[in-house]
Structure 1
Amino acid sequence: MNYSDQFDSSDYQLAIEELLRNGDLNIQNENYLAAIEDYTRLLQLNPNESQAYWHRCLAWVELGNYQESIKDCTQYLKLRPDFVQGYISRAGLFKDIGNLQRAIEDCTHALSLGGLSSYWEQMAYSCRGDCYGLLNNYQAALQDYNQSIRLAPEEIKNYQKRGFIHQELENYHEAIADLTKVLRRNSEDSELVHCYHLRAGSHQSLRNWEEAIRDFTEVIRRDPTYYRAYIGRSGAYVFLNDRESAASDLETAARLSQAQGDTEGYQNAMKVMEVLGIKHRISDSDISHDDRQRPGNNKFLRIVASIWFPLVGVFLTVGFGLHLWINLALMVFLGSLNVASNPLALIGGYILLIIHALWVVFNED
């Protein structure tokens, strides 16, 4: 049905203007579904009304439907290919749905067209930098963040993004400088926990142990449940020979990660304690079921056992697990070959059992 047939020529334009006005009013009132209905009716009257596509695109964004928003933005750009900001807006939508390559292409196209204000130009560089960072192309990301900061030095978020890139590139001094600018500007922002954690990591990489401890402590003050900060701070304490504080932090990290259901975090905390030779003081109720089932916690003992009695070394590491049966099966298989009559074969078979046992010990996780 052609909706334009419902109107004579004198009312046609008035109907379009009224639908556009109603849609805009519904957006102002945050009635986005009603606005979409208005713009849809308008486009049925006039499929070439570019503003309807653009405004409906914005309504879809507010509803979190980025796929439909991209469709409308694309239709708008077909009608208005010179609207450079539209490409940058669509790039942001592509980034949000994970289509990073399309986002990069839109930003690059927008920058190639020129005529952008400094605000939109830095937005294009920043968006493209985000995408390159997510793709682990850190050098390209760094170049784009440099451009974005040059154009908008007051946009503090770009310093935080560049600080992360500098850290990934092991430019720790530069990372600290960028992150410090962010923290000086917004020192009480509750969302800056990650920023303090990043700077602490850079300080730690530069062996600035006291500075690292201060930043990790600030992370913990803002978020006492952030167990990774305890693990990081424990490392700095170790290098300052404060093993008691390191042990306390690692125990706290183990408890928090276990309470949060993060098995990997718990195992990391326990592994660091084992490597450092720190005797943990976590009660049996704080230890996971899997760890209670593990027969041997002394790694040196398990290594020695693996060399002299491979089957015992495997048992002390995994208990009655798959690898115990694999080691036992190897023993049975070697026995079936009657290797006792051949000394070299006997030695080779025994070495094979030792290798398997040591592999289990060093790869127990």
Structure 2
Amino acid sequence: MSPKNASYYGNRAATLMMLCRYREALEDSQQAVRLDNSFMKGHLREGKCHLSLGNAKAASRCFNRVLELEPDNGQVKQELNNSEAILQYERTAEIGFDKRDFRMVVYWMDRALECAPACHRFKIIKAECLALLGRYPEAQSVASDILRMDSTNADALYVRGLCLYYEDCIDKAVQFFVHSLRMAPDHDKARLACRNAKALKAKKEEGNKSFKEGNFEAAYELYSEALTIDPNNIKTNAKLYCNRATVGSKLKKLKQAIEDCTKAIKLDETYIKAYLRRAQCYMDTEQYEEAVRDYEKVYQTEKTKEHKQLLKIAQLELKKSKRKDYYKVLGVDKNATEDEIKKAYRKRALLHHPDRHSGASPEVQKEEEKKFKEVGEAFSVLSDAKKKSRYDGGQDLDDDGMNMGADFDANNIFKTFFGAPGGFSFEASGPGNFFFQFG
């Protein structure tokens, strides 16, 4: 009815601002000041709209125009302070982003959004940093809110894709990156992320294929190459490290496999598969305390029968490892035959018999006597089927009346084994050579 009345546009702008429809309010405010450049409220509302939308420089121009019209306007001075504060927040956040201090960026974007609640740009920066921090649900929530208002927002589409990409949903992530590029063909971040996602998927699949075919060396190299593609993709890289650890264990690179599992766990502390793989590697390298620790972690997280059994086995091996290793004392394998055990005892008993070292220093005599006793203990256990079974099962031999304590007499074992009727001696037959002689 009166399309040239600046106040009407100004009033409608004020109403739209109350409804948080700042873009529409901005258009009405700008129309108002076009009709009347001396309309102070029009300039003030335009400045507030610019500020809410995150355009602090444009807001400052509007607020300075208000001061030209009303130099004593206290309200606009505060708005100018808010504009300057937003500019400072942006500068600080940019420094933080360059330093990859994403927590700092989130903090300053939150401060900026207190003054500019409708700024999509600030929300996108915050969402991207949340994604880079691994806070995917929060990042997706922010991006989804923007997409509900603007389904063609290329930045929000990119962030949604980034979250999916970092959650190892690569196919879905690529779809969002492609959509983002349709909306904004020059979106460099979306293009780079799309390229990385495709390359990562292809290299990982190549590695999996080589592994299934039994080509472990090739699989190891392919997983290594995949790990260089994108250091920011924590979840996928954790899986790649674990995959490489699996290949490493097949190649008997157990130390490297443990290191890869540790790297996977550092990236994802909830990655059960990596704990299980590392625990098995610890078992294979007889690091039983470490294996028990990992299996305990797994069982605390997932109380399954299988995990309980693995923990029990590791605990048993740890208990066994703290006893004397009688197989090691005799120098035989755990699968040694009865004859192999006898031959090993014969050799070690003669080597460490006290009479053979009667001319040595007291320290050497004491050490050899100790070894002679251990050899006797080892033979006593491993040559007896019942004792050997209990020993291999991790049971305590002393608890079954099989006393292996300080009063154990290794000479009795020696005499019984060699069948000596009386005394015996070691006599020199040449420099450094001895022969055993029965009395």
TM range (shorter): 0.3 to 0.5
Q: Please identify the structure whose Cα radius of gyration is greater.
A: 2
Q: How does the TM-score come out when normalised to structure 2?
A: 0.34
In proportion to residue count, which structure has more helix? 1
Q: How does the TM-score come out when normalised to structure 1?
A: 0.40
